[in-house]
Amino acid sequence: MNSSLQRVLKLREVIEITGLSRSTIYAAMARSQFPNQVKLPGVRRVGWYESDIRDWLNSAEH
């Protein structure tokens, strides 16, 4: 397995992991207080790197 591959989470998974609502996630992104999305192949598909979400959860800044 290539160690440079990262798991990408869908919004539903991010909501489950963080306990935040969709609107809270997007509001925090607008304030630069939440990890940025990454664009995925396909039309209108985005996600978040799992490592970014885990790092955010472990930080004291949120």
The answer as to whether 29 is a domain residue is yes
The answer as to whether 39 is a domain residue is yes
What whole-number distance in Å separates Cα of residue 62 and Cα of residue 59? Answer: 7
What whole-number distance in Å separates Cα of residue 28 and Cα of residue 30? Answer: 5
The answer as to whether 20 is a domain residue is yes
The answer as to whether 2 is a domain residue is no
Domain range holding 43? Answer: 8-58
Provide the β-strand partners of residue 49.
Answer: 8
The answer as to whether 36 is a domain residue is yes
> How many domains does the chain contain in total?
1
Please name which of 7, 25, 3 lies closest in space to residue 16, comparing C-alpha atoms.
25
The answer as to whether 53 is a domain residue is yes
Q: What is the pLDDT of residues 3-32, one digit of tens each?
A: 578 999 999 999 999 999 999 999 999 999
Q: Whole-model pTM?
A: 0.83
The answer as to whether 1 is a domain residue is no
The answer as to whether 34 is a domain residue is yes
CB contact burial 22-50 (16+ within 10 A = b; e otherwise): eeebeebeeeeebbebeeeeeeeeebbbe
Q: What is the pLDDT of residues 44-55, one digit of tens each?
A: 889 999 999 999
